[in-house]
Amino acid sequence: MASMSMDKNFEELCYSCRTGDIDNLDRLISTGVNLNGVDKFDNSPLFLASLCGHEEVVKLLLQRGAVCDRDRFEGARCIYGALNEAIKETLLSYDISKAVDVKQSFATHVSSIYNEESFLSRDISFRAPNGQLFTAHRFLLCARSEVLAEKMTNEWAKIEIVPIEVHSDIFEIFLKFLYLIPILHQIEPGQYEELIKLSSDLSIELLPEFLDKARHIADPTKKSRLMSDYQYKFTEIARNQLLLFVNNCIFSSAVDVAEDEQQTTSLMNCPAYPDIQLSVKNRNGTTRVYPCHLAILNRAKYFKVMFTNNFKEKLTYVKAKDLSGHNNGVATQLTLPNCEFEVAEIILRYLYADSTDISWMYAVDVLLLADILLEDRLKTITSTIITQSKEFIQEHNVFDVLYLSWEIGVERLEQFAAKFIAMHLQELYKDPEIEKAILLSSERISLRQETDTIELVDDIRYYLLRKYSFEPDDVELFQNQDDLEYLKEVGYLEYRKDMEMLESILTDLELDV
């Protein structure tokens, strides 16, 4: 079943590359689909995007790990098949030896917390033989390595500074690797042996395999290709590891608190190694507390502003007991806006592991919460899921979708609603909601003049042309055509019927547009 799902995702990815749907492409890439596969016609996603002239899609594919090797047939096809010079230049100039997705918020954010010192609390340090000190986050190390997680639970449980026997330059490379900093191209030949031993001892998935291959390759082009292939794999492994950590350590450690309970439970000593507790209340009045991390919550702009500007009024300090029932001082707690626990957990999976597995049933609530958290990318991805879900539009009124798009400012949803209205205009013509929607759209124009266009009306007119596969020039020609059979055959009579319905609505509203 999983492979069928991945095949379907790959087909959809190829379609998005042909049409230039960068939002849907972003969503599909987050599912782990193979960017370097080929479709039944032997076309790679990168080739399709290049051939169809979608420069931004080409850039995103390259940043996410798609390989354009000019020394191979597929790479040469991409370059010579590129629709324009800008795409060709992008493909020729892209340095695959340093391939890293600077726009992928997950990898970029994890890398950023390595150097962030201001407020993202690190809770473990390592002292190298030369005395150099490295600080890190226990939770991230636990997520990235089962061996490190076991050491944290046992021999390092009460140690703040761990002495290590590894050379400082080797340990620094290793630590940066765990934080997803692109350092593969910086490894010197003399460092491979020690890094292979260290990564093998700590069971770091695929890293020993990569290092063993890389040390036997002298050709820079071949080594660059290898780095590009593995860099993407390493990011996907990290995403899956953090997703497991969220499910197994954060969600499994969360506790429910009754509405009238005055004293909550401290989770600060649970297996997640949290530095803050996130409190959420659902519609039944039950509060659930999740052990979380400032370093990850900081990925959402709302939390980043809160933490960096020291908005202490948003934080609460609760008297708490530990899991064994003993008093444990106070715990720092942050409250998320009221929502169902499933919605809160979708948000946490996204922040921690870039998971975009969002059910259409929770999509509206996720959109609203993402809007509060100022997470525009999550809003875009969720709106993409909505527009591709047949179940969603069967259960929700299209006008509610339109009003939601205006409320949270998602153009994709607005276009989806306008297209749906155009495609079903003859069914919706008598629905009073369509007049209300057009009137509200007209009121959204600041200082609207009597003959100004109305955005919703313009969009409906555009999608009516699309509905019948017409261009504006076609309509002018049809207007001067007397052959009714021909006009019926090409669909113009149905198009005119739709347009007359729209004009009738505008006349009833006394709107001249």
The predicted-structure confidence for 115-131, as pLDDT tens digits, reads as follows: 776 555 788 999 999 99
Q: What number is the average pLDDT over the span 81-93?
A: 77
pLDDT score for 457: 92
pLDDT score for 260: 61
Across the chain, which distance is largest between two alpha carbons, in Å? 92
One domain for residues 315 and 409: no
Q: Is residue 309 part of a domain?
A: yes
The predicted-structure confidence for 435-444, as pLDDT tens digits, reads as follows: 999 999 988 8
Spatial distance between the Cα atoms of 308 and 419, rounded to a whole number of angstroms: 42
**Pairs from 181-188 (Cβ < 8 Å, separation ≥ 24):** 181/111, 181/114, 182/98, 182/99, 182/100, 182/111, 182/231, 184/210, 184/214, 184/227, 184/230, 184/231, 185/97, 185/98, 185/224, 185/227, 187/211, 187/214
Residue 61: name the closest of 105, 98, 94 by CA.
94
pLDDT score for 480: 81
One domain for residues 234 and 313: no
How many residues are given for the chain? 513
Spatial distance between the Cα atoms of 391 and 401, rounded to a whole number of angstroms: 13
Domain holding 195: CATH number? 3.30.710.10
One domain for residues 446 and 314: no
Query: Which pTM value belongs to this model?
Result: 0.79
Q: Is residue 110 part of a domain?
A: yes
Among residues 70, 94, 118, the one where a domain terminates is 94
Burial class (CB within 10 angstroms; exposed 0-12, middle 13-18, buried 19+) of 298: buried
Q: Is residue 381 part of a domain?
A: no
One domain for residues 233 and 279: no
pLDDT band at 499 (very low <50, low <70, confident <90, very high): very high
The predicted-structure confidence for 450-495, as pLDDT tens digits, reads as follows: 556 789 999 999 999 999 988 888 888 888 888 888 888 888 899 9
The predicted-structure confidence for 334-373, as pLDDT tens digits, reads as follows: 889 999 999 999 999 999 999 988 999 999 999 999 999 9
What is the number of domains present in the chain? Answer: 4
Q: Is residue 204 part of a domain?
A: yes
pLDDT band at 145 (very low <50, low <70, confident <90, very high): very high
Q: Are the beta carbons of 140 and 172 closer than 8 angstroms? A: no
One domain for residues 215 and 269: no
One domain for residues 261 and 225: no
Beta bridge partners of 321: 265, 327
Q: Is residue 267 part of a domain?
A: yes
Instruction: For 19-76, give the DSSP string.
Output: HT-HHHHHHHHTTT--TT---TTS--HHHHHHHTT-HHHHHHHHHTT----TTSHHHH
One domain for residues 122 and 212: yes
pLDDT score for 1: 40
Among residues 69, 94, 119, the one where a domain terminates is 94
One domain for residues 410 and 428: yes
pLDDT score for 477: 86
Among residues 74, 94, 114, the one where a domain terminates is 94
Residue 154: name the closest of 324, 328, 271, 276 by CA.
271
| Domain coverage including residue 476 | 397-508
pLDDT score for 80: 64
Q: What number is the average pLDDT over the span 42-46?
A: 86
Residue 101 has pLDDT above 50, yes or no: no
SS3 299: coil
pLDDT score for 475: 85
SS3 467: helix
Residue 323 has pLDDT above 70, yes or no: no
Name the region of 510 (left: φ>0; alpha: ψ -120 to 50; beta: rest): left
pLDDT score for 64: 77
Domain holding 40: CATH number? 1.25.40.20
